[in-house]
Amino acid sequence: MTETTAKPILPPTYFGAALVAMIAAHFVSPAVHLLSYPATLTGLGPIGAGIALNLAADRAFKAHRTTVKPFETSTALITTGVFALSRNPMYLGMALILLGVALLFGSLTPFVIAAVFAVVIDRRFIRVEEQMLADTFADEWRAYRSRVRRWL
């Protein structure tokens, strides 16, 4: 009998599921309509910022030759660039993209889903990853954590 280990569901899957849920919720049950066009176009700002954060963080991971994958041990603690603004710029970027999409839709339910995404990512990934960084980088991690916020 062979033993199989299930692969964990990674953050991009949660992000994609949140996007799909936001679209469905907006069209099926928009609840309260909060914004109308052209105010909804303010969503383009957070979307652009979120994409930029994700690209910059990904480049930093590659430049430092460390893993971007959750639950894998990092070989470097990145504290510069976008990581000087947020300890989790990729998750922040995803949350900003979802916030931007919620603004584009202008209804309440997508905002709820964006908030749930942030909570789930914090509990499922960020806390575990930050504990791994604390275990791996000890004093360097504590110094970084004391000067840079988890989200923003």
Q: What is the pLDDT of residue 141?
A: 96
pTM for the whole structure: 0.91
The residues pairing with 33 across neighbouring beta strands, listed in sequence order, are 107
For residue 76, being part of any structural domain is answered with: yes
For residue 128, being part of any structural domain is answered with: yes
For residue 130, being part of any structural domain is answered with: yes
Q: What is the pLDDT of residue 6?
A: 77
For residue 6, being part of any structural domain is answered with: no
Q: What is the pLDDT of residue 2?
A: 56
For residue 117, being part of any structural domain is answered with: yes
For residue 8, being part of any structural domain is answered with: no
Q: Which residues of the chain have pLDDT under 50?
A: none
Q: What's the pLDDT tens digit per position in 35-45?
A: 899 999 999 99
For residue 93, being part of any structural domain is answered with: yes
Q: What is the pLDDT of residue 4?
A: 62
Domain count, the chain: 1
The residues pairing with 107 across neighbouring beta strands, listed in sequence order, are 33
- DSSP-derived secondary structure letter, 124: I
Domain limits for position 56: 13-25+37-147
Torsion-angle region of 135 (φ positive above 0: left; ψ -120 to 50: alpha; else: beta): alpha
Find the angle CA(90)-CA(124)-CA(127) to the nearest 5 degrees: 75
